Structure 1
Amino acid sequence: MRTLLAAAAMALAVSSAHAEIVIGSAGPLTGPLAAVGEQLRRGTEQAAADLNAAGGVLGQKITVAVHDDAGVPTQAVAVANKLATQGARMVVGHLQSGTSIPASQVYGDEGIIMITPTATAPELTDSGSDLVFRTCGRDDQQGPIAAQWLVENFAGKRVALVQDQTTYGKGLADATKAAMNAKGLKEVLYTAITGGERDFSALVTRLKAENVDALYFGGYYADAGVFVRQMREAGVTAAFLSGDTLASNEFWTLAGKAGEGAMMTFSADARSQPAAQEVIARFRAKGQEPDAYTLYAYAAVQAWATAAEKAKSLDGPKVAKAMREGKYDTAIGALSFDKKGDRTDTDYVLYRWSDGKFAPIAQK
């Protein structure tokens, strides 16, 4: 009997040692934001592949469960519940603040770590969850960067703000407005659109009548591309400034030449990091360019994996504690997190689109 029990225990131990760790990749793979959702998927899968090639995490290989939330909050919650039933230990996602916030509640209840490379609304980490992190910054960190540029270049001129009524878009426009107003620059117009619209003619006519010199757009690249094109077609020459989701080639695809000169706030290009070069080479060897948020997703997996090794556990709260206590080398540089799960440093800068590419610009 003892021999049988010992054999059974050994078989169980061997099975457990070779079990695969499930992590999730959650974001829109269909719909208007699919291009960025694809970046999250690629970054997560490449990080898992590289970790597996090096022996995995805690001696176990990783498998990635990929789910499409279509950028819809209710579907994001359904995806979160699905990942919970699959036994996911951590999730890279979701993309938008409006999907990340409700999904994070599911992960919190299930003890699953969520690390978003893209969702910037302060409410996400201000909620008090111990299991939510992000490798990007916050709206109230990038808004002031945009506001400073507006103040320096359009003091005494006519500035308008437009937002798309999403958690992300409104939050970003509000943060920019607050910082701009605090420096003495008041807007002549603050208004909203409905995301997904394709006819902005009424608003464009209003902007033309207001003789606007500069416009700040709080919203996603899919709407921004169409909006700026219609502005230029109507003869509105106002400077166009927006947030970090414009860091997608799809913006230029939608805007075309009307996107020339459009500006955005975005983190410093992670592809310039020395730590990213080997990772970038692996992407390019597969014919993939790690655009925009790809490396931010990759870094999310790196930080989690290193924290799990430090904690010697896959338990969500234990790994989260380790993440807050350490500083982790990643493809986007060294990352450390505060009590809320936000990065302890941010590196937002201004970029300008020109001839189908965006590049950082010098600031005063």
Structure 2
Amino acid sequence: MTKHWLSGVALLAALAFSGAASAQIKMGVAGPITGPNAAFGAQLVNGTQQAVDDINKAGGILGQQITLEQGDDVSDPKQGVSVANKFVGDGVKFVVGHFNSGVTIPASDVYQENGVLFITPSATNPKVTDRMLWDAFRTCGRDDQQGLLWAEYARDHLKGKKIAVVHDKTTYGKGLADAALDDMHKFGIKEVLYEGVNTGEKDYSAIVSKIKESGADYLMWGGLHTEGGLIIRQMRDQGMKTVMISGDGITDNEFSQIGGPGVEGTLMSFGPDPRNNASAKDVVAEFKAKNFDPEAYTLYSYAAVQIIKQAAEATKSLDPKKIAEYMHSGKTFHTVIGDIAYDKKGDRTSVDYVWYTWEKAPDGKITYVQNKS
């Protein structure tokens, strides 16, 4: 009898321990971990992982540790849906991602149907949030906000200049280019060329020839850094001095590696560099100690995890729907990229896009530097 009683106690203790051990918060991070956009996937993964590590060291969220699962969507919409379904099957309730708008939108249907809250650090297409999904948020801005900045620049600084507009036919690239064009047309500015190109190609000589024939002084590029870098390199090979204007899709130093010296002078729109925020100082130091530069969307991903933590603690709940309701209420969250509050759509209530110029740093590397005015 004594032996059986002790076994029962041991069993109960084991069950209690396993229950405590299994009380974990399952989170996913999704993006192009491999493929041509892997540099951006690294930003999302590293930013999310560092936030999870820091929060877990401090005791987790509501006393529970976070476990993080990675999903590689390779910037492909179908693969993005597969990643989303796998997350659901694995019990993931919170997702940081995806990177591309064209992947985020179809994946979001899976999340909203299965009780998963997601915050994208980088998907800027308006459709991500305009559909009023209960669970959709972003730490970045929108294409219509960024497109207006481009149009205003053309109006205020490029009078008499010829402007070509080229996009990569993706939800993001075409969406951004079209947003800029719509506002340019409202300002009475007409482009000399409007074309789309296919992603993943190596030879862009055909579009480069068209840009050259148009006499464009400036090229507005709606797309990512890989194709943008190749287009610049091939423009320079043809002796062209056309200046590229692009956006957050080229915010990785790989852009200059692909484009070469010819990327100097490229204008780029993005949010104010979060690496300069006082609130990010310690986190930036952590990254640099690991020999990783937390550029672009790295800290936007870190901030997404901070927001989930703060909302969970405010509601004293890990229910994604309760957390989403709180996030939609306009409350302010303090993050490494600054204070963030959300509207009913899941968009930030205030976003500032600023200009950067790609230029040679003292160490000889060509990188982007925020303009002073």
What band does the TM-score fall into relative to the shorter chain?
over 0.9
Q: CA deviation at 1:195?
A: 1.2
CA offsets, 1:61-87, max 9 Å, x none?
A: 011101111111111100001111111
Distance 1:150 1:108 in 2: 39
Structure-2 separation of matches of 1:201 and 1:244: 24
Match of 2:304 among 281, 300, 306: 300
Deviations along 1:254-281, one digit per CA (max 9) or x if unpaired, are 0010111111110100011111011111
- The CA deviation string for residues 113-153 of structure 1, in whole angstroms up to 9 with x for no partner, is 11100100001111121101000000001111111112222
* Residues 1:146 and 2:150 are matched in the alignment: yes
Distance 1:277 1:170 in 2: 35
- Change in Cα spacing, 1:9 to 1:145, as seen in structure 2 (3 Å) is farther
Structure 1 residues 9 and 115: CA distance shift in structure 2, 3 A:
farther
Paired residue for 1:359? 369
Deviations 1:34-55 (A, max 9, x none): 0010010001100000000110
Are 2:58 and 1:54 aligned? yes
Q: Between 87-96 and 153-162, report the one with greater CA deviation.
A: 153-162
CA contact 1:267–1:346 (8 Å) conserved in 2: yes
Question: Residue 248 of structure 2 is aligned with which of 244, 247, 258?
Answer: 244
CA-to-aligned-CA distance 1:184-224 (integer Å, 9 cap, x gap): 21111111111112111111111111111111010111100
**Match for residue 132 of structure 1?**
136
Give the Cα–Cα distance (whole angstroms) in 2 for the partners of residues 298 and 273 of structure 1. 13
Which position in structure 2 is the counterpart of 1:226? 230
User: In structure 1, what is the Cα distance between the partners aligned to 2:174 and 2:274?
Assistant: 26
Instruction: Quote the offset at 1:13 in angstroms.
Output: 6.1
Q: 1:193 aligns with which of 190, 193, 197?
A: 197
Asked whether the 8 Å contact 1:335–1:343 carries over to 2, the reply is: yes
Structure 1 residues 334 and 17: CA distance shift in structure 2, 3 A: farther
Aligned equivalents of 1:8, 1:182: Cα separation in 2: 73
Shift in Å, 1:156: 2.7
| Distance (Å, rounded) in 1 between the aligned partners of 2:196 and 2:103 | 20
Q: Does the aligned pair in 2 maintain the 1:207–1:236 contact within 8 Å?
A: no
TM-score, normalized by length of structure 1?
0.95
1:178-189 map, 5 Å: 178-189=182-193
Matched, 1:216 2:183: no
1:70 corresponds in structure 2 to 74
1:340 aligns with 2:349: no
Residue 258 of structure 2 is matched in structure 1 by 254
TM-aligned CA deviation for residue 238 of structure 1? 1.6
Larger CA deviation: 343-352 vs 200-209: 200-209
| The 10-residue stretch of structure 1 (270-279 or 196-205) with the greater mean CA deviation from structure 2 | 196-205
Q: Residue 97 of structure 2 corresponds to which residue in structure 1? A: 93
- In the alignment, the residues of structure 2 paired with residue 10 and residue 81 of structure 1 have an alpha-carbon distance, to the nearest angstrom, of 35
| Aligned-partner SS, 1:216 | strand
Q: 1:168: how far off?
A: 0.1
Q: Quick check: 1:350 aligned with 2:337?
A: no
TM-score normalised to structure 2 length? 0.93
Aligned residues: 361
Deviation at 1:246, TM superposition (A): 1.2
**Counterpart secondary structure, 1:197:** coil
Q: Distance in 2 between matches of 1:126 and 1:256?
A: 38
Which ranges in structure 1 are unaligned for 5 or more consecutive residues? none
Q: How does 1:321-336 map to 2 (within 5 A)?
A: 321-325=325-329, 326-336=331-341
Q: Do the aligned residues in 2 keep the contact of 1:146 with 1:350 (CA within 8 Å)? A: no
Question: What code does the residue aligned with 1:179 have?
Answer: D
Greater CA drift, 14-23 or 137-146: 14-23
1:30 paired with 2:40, answer: no
Pairwise CA distance, 1:306: 0.9
Deviations 1:81-123 (A, max 9, x none): 1111111120010000000001111011110011100100001
Query: Deviation per CA, 1:269-320, whole angstroms, max 9, x where unpaired?
Result: 0011111011111112222221111000000000011101112111111110
Distance of aligned partners of 1:305 and 1:86 in 2 relative to their CA distance in 1, 3 Å threshold: same
